[in-house]
Amino acid sequence: MSSPSPTSSSTSSEEKPLRDRGDEPLIRVLEVARRLGGTSNVREILSLIIDALRDLLGADRATVFQYDPSTEELYSRVAHGIDDSMAKEFRFPVGKGLAGECCKTRKIINVPDCYADPRFSQEVDRRTGYHTRNLLCVPLVATDGSTVGVAQVLNKHEGVFTVDDEFFSEALGMQAAVALQRATLFEAKLRQEKLDQDIALAQRMQKATWPTHVPQPDGYEIAVYLQPAEETGGDACDVFAVPGGGVVLFIADATGHGIGPALSVTQARSMARVAMRCGVGIDQATRHINAQLCEDLPAGRFITAFLGQLDADANRMEFHSAGQGPLLHFHAATGLGDFSEANGLPLGIMEYAGIEGVELGFAQLAPGDVYAVLSDGFFEAQNYDGEQFGHEAVLEVIRENQNKSAEQIIRRLLQVLAGHCGSRLPDDDRTALLVRRKPIDGAAE
């Protein structure tokens, strides 16, 4: 028998194109893989996966459970026969049920009779009214070996899931895992970018509340300094004049630091401004601010605050210190410093009318005196040996620089503090408010 001529059109089955060989399932896997590579939307990818598995295997419905490594749980976002709000309720630990075991072992599980298998959890069927006869669980493992999730296909229309079904679902699962991992990382990147934008906006908004023009009453110098430990801080500081004379001094420190505490102290600062400009006085302003914070702050959160008013004509400052301390009054005549503790509870802990039982604090400022209100970020700043900067170090800086301006004293304080801490980054926000009465001759070095 003569061999076929080179021009013969006959070819072996191995040489035939896939479409001509009848490998429809494989062609559909490749088509789905192509579509998976064309999107970075997680929800769209999940929908593609469950639709492809259902149609490819001739099943009733499918679900993809994503893996959350932070909690070691599986959760669903998209599922056939269940609306999105209900699908989000399904969250369970790895190892529970057939999907959990599939995730843990990273092996295909093929169950021909679910209710005869003790590993099958009937909870979803009870909640949805659905009856699962058989199912196929496929682990979704990315090329780097990380577990992405589990795909589950339910109720094959004819018979039970076969070995071929396992082969094609595994092939599709590998493609799906890569696409889902890529989309999840992209989604996380977008969330992080949005978070960074929100933090930057919060930072700009908070800085907009910082005093840019500090009133300087005759015979006095007032200086402020703010340094958040993070992008946004839990400290606030304000100095402003009020109708009828006088300058209001405000400093607040919320528990923690970051966006949440920044919102709290910004709210307290705004309330202090409104109250004092309405002429209600320190006592009533503190009471109203505290009452509102008691309603607004979550349990366990509070704000320490100093609210004072300087009368430059009488050289007297009255204040409420709600948990804010220590307060330092340096006496130029003697070179000594008095540290006093807060005269009231922090704000937001409990409501009390008119600061009952708490008298206004006051300080009579003599020529050259310095009154300093500093947040914990100064006193408690540590070096690498764990030693705090402490009260006496602050007093010593003020004593040695008492003839300098208030701004110069703060700058020197920061220099000495930097020498104490070295290259160690601040653990807490640092906020300072200094009031210095000028000497009689008004001189400052």
Show the tokens assigned to 136.
Answer: 């196929």
The pLDDT of residue 131 is 93
Give the chain's domains with CATH numbers.
17-185 (3.30.450.40), 202-437 (3.60.40.10)
Per-residue pLDDT of the chain (445 residues; tens, 9 = 90+): 444 444 433 344 444 443 443 456 666 666 666 676 667 777 888 888 888 889 889 999 998 898 998 899 998 877 777 665 555 557 888 988 899 999 999 999 999 999 999 989 888 788 888 999 999 999 999 888 889 999 999 999 999 999 989 988 888 888 888 888 888 888 888 888 887 776 776 667 666 767 778 999 999 999 999 888 776 667 888 999 988 778 999 998 888 666 777 788 888 888 998 988 888 888 889 988 998 898 888 888 899 999 999 999 999 999 999 999 899 999 999 999 999 998 888 998 877 644 556 678 899 999 999 999 998 889 999 998 889 999 999 999 999 999 999 999 999 999 999 999 988 888 788 899 999 999 987 444 4
Quote the CA–CA distance of 363 and 402 in Å, as a whole number.
Answer: 18
The pLDDT of residue 20 is 45
Angle at the Cα of 337 (from 331 to 338), degrees rounded to 5? Answer: 110
Tell me if residue 18 falls in helix, strand or coil.
helix
The answer to whether residues 60 and 157 touch, using CB atoms and an 8 Å cutoff, is yes
The answer to whether residues 152 and 137 touch, using CB atoms and an 8 Å cutoff, is yes
Q: DSSP secondary structure string, 88-137?
A: TT-EEETTSHHHHHHHHHT--EEES-GGG-TT---HHHHHH------EEE
Q: How far is CA 75 from CA 13, 62, 90, in A?
A: 44, 14, 6
